[in-house]
């Protein structure tokens, strides 16, 4: 052997890991059987959070450059997909906690106050690194969170706030993509023409639908007009930038246009990796939203309408967080701006060639 032999338990430092479950109920003289389960579940979460941070940091370094090599996107996609698989494990672990009954939890719950999962600094780092800046939380949420953190943890998050988020780095990467305006070809004018043709056709179909009640007709036409406004707000630079300044959208206009272009032409070889990357980010957001929602259901099951150990409103707060703490909502919204394949404008041959595989002597 070229290296010193190593023993399994020593390599994993199991003496530290397996001796770190210390039930508070035992300290108070009457050990609650399920507290060990409660501790192990949360320790497992923190270990997986550490791995997610490890993956996100590596992806962050790749995007935190002026230029990104195309072959790096394969690495990014691989690591993003790993995060999604870890999240599947996190979601499934909630079912293990639910084997604990409310009465089992009550045997040791009071010993935990005011500790709370809200104080998981690793989870806060994940949220912030991905793009959930403090300004995107409600005022009540910001005050509640920060009041329950140690000063050193507040300082750590404050320093992270000074750095760009992954969402912002991805925005910059998308903004640099040139394909929609190359060699004198303006894709977006042709796209707008196709949108107007599509919406005019839809309007005619609605107006000719004799089965609609007058109020239904009015409702359908209002919805159609709202759809038209959405498209025109995207393509009107001033209107879109106003929405961006108000925080109603988080992707810059150039980034949003590139993301739509990638979705429309996702089958072109050069766009397949970017398309998968955006879908992985959507998957991550969806999985965390699912985890938050399932967490709120679990809290309701164990606590009813009691407040949480950290002083929150319990499951109601968690349920609101599931809706409010998403990061990549702009990527979800891309479906709003997709149009049927038969009306997507054709690309000039030279641009189509640039998006494909080219073999020349």
Concatenated DSSP letters for 204-235?
HHHHT-TTS-HHHHHHHHHHHHHHHHHHHHHH
Angle between helices 214-235 and 237-245 (to 10 degrees): 90
Which H helix or E strand runs over 185? Answer: strand 185-186
Distance of CA 49 to the CA centre of its chain: 15
**Torsion sign over Cα 14, 20, 26, 32:** negative
pLDDT of residue 314: 60
Structure tokens at 70: 């195309």
Count CB neighbours of 201 within 10 A: 11
Choose between 43 and 318: higher pLDDT.
43
DSSP H stretches of helix in 64-180: 72-97, 102-106, 121-130, 139-146, 151-161, 166-175
Q: Which residue has the tokens 């000063």?
A: 151
Query: Alpha-carbon Rg of the chain, whole angstroms?
Result: 25
Average pLDDT over residues 264-279: 95
pLDDT of residue 137: 79
Torsion of CA 142, 143, 148, 151, to 10 degrees: 80
Q: Which residue has the tokens 């179909």?
A: 205
Structure tokens at 249: 């959208």
Give φ, ψ of 185 to 5 degrees. Answer: -100, 120
pLDDT bin (cut points 50, 70, 90) of residue 283 is: very high
Contact between 326 and 289 (Cβ < 8 Å) = yes
**Torsion sign over Cα 246, 252, 253, 257:** negative
CATH class for domain 30-179+265-327? Answer: mainly alpha
pLDDT digits (tens, 9 = 90+) for 316-350: 777 777 778 899 999 999 999 999 998 899 988 88
Vertex 294 angle, CA 293 and 297, to 5°: 90
Which H helix or E strand runs over 181? Answer: strand 181-182
SS3 of 132, please? coil
pLDDT of residue 143: 65
pLDDT of residue 78: 97
Task: Give the Cα separation of 320 and 299 in Å (integer).
Answer: 13
Task: Give the Cα separation of 281 and 81 in Å (integer).
Answer: 9
Domain ranges of the chain: 30-179+265-327
**What is the percent of the chain with per-residue pLDDT over 70, rounded to a whole number?**
92
C-alpha distance from residue 272 to each of 61, 73, 131 (Å)? 22, 10, 24
Angle between helices 269-303 and 72-97 (to 10 degrees): 20
Residue 73 has pLDDT above 90, yes or no: yes
SS3 of 137, please? coil
Task: Give the Cα separation of 46 and 117 in Å (integer).
Answer: 10
Average pLDDT over residues 237-249: 94
pLDDT of residue 311: 47
Residue 80 has pLDDT above 80, yes or no: yes
Average pLDDT over residues 290-304: 88
- The burial class, CB within 10 Å (0-12 / 13-18 / 19+), for 10 is exposed
């Amino acid at each position: 052997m070229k290296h010193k032999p190593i023993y399994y338990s020593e390599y994993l430092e199991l003496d530290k890991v397996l001796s770190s479950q210390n039930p508070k109920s035992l300290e108070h003289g009457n050990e609650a059987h399920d507290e060990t389960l409660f501790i192990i579940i949360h320790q497992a979460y923190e270990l997986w959070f550490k791995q997610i941070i490890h993956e996100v940091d590596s992806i962050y370094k790749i995007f935190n450059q002026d230029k990104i090599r195309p072959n790096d996107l394969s690495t990014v996609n691989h690591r993003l997909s790993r995060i999604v698989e870890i999240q599947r494990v996190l979601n499934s672990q909630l079912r293990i906690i639910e084997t604990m009954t409310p009465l089992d939890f009550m045997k040791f719950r009071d010993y935990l106050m005011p500790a709370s999962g809200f104080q998981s600094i690793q989870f806060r780092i994940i949220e912030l690194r991905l793009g959930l800046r403090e300004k995107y939380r409600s005022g009540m949420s910001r005050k509640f969170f920060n009041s329950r953190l140690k000063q050193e943890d507040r300082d750590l998050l404050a320093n992270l706030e000074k750095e760009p988020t992954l969402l912002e780095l991805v925005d910059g990467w998308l903004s640099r993509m040139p394909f929609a305006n190359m060699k004198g070809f303006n894709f977006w004018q042709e796209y707008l023409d196709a949108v107007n043709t599509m919406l005019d056709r839809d309007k005619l179909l609605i107006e000719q639908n004799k089965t609609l009640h007058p109020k239904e007709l009015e409702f359908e036409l209002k919805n159609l007009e709202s759809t038209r406004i959405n498209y025109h707000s995207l393509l009107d630079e001033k209107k879109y930038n106003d929405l961006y300044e108000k925080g109603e959208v988080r992707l810059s206009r150039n980034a949003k246009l590139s993301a739509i272009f990638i979705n429309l032409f996702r089958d072109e070889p050069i766009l397949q990796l970017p398309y998968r990357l955006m879908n992985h980010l959507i998957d991550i957001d969806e999985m965390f939203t699912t985890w938050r929602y399932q967490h709120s259901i679990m809290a309701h099951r164990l606590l009813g309408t009691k407040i949480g150990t950290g002083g929150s409103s319990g499951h109601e707060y968690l349920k609101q967080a599931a809706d409010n703490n998403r990061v990549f909502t702009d990527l979800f919204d891309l479906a709003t701006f997709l149009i049927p394949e038969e009306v997507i404008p054709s690309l000039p041959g030279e641009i189509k060639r640039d998006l494909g595989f080219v073999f020349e002597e």
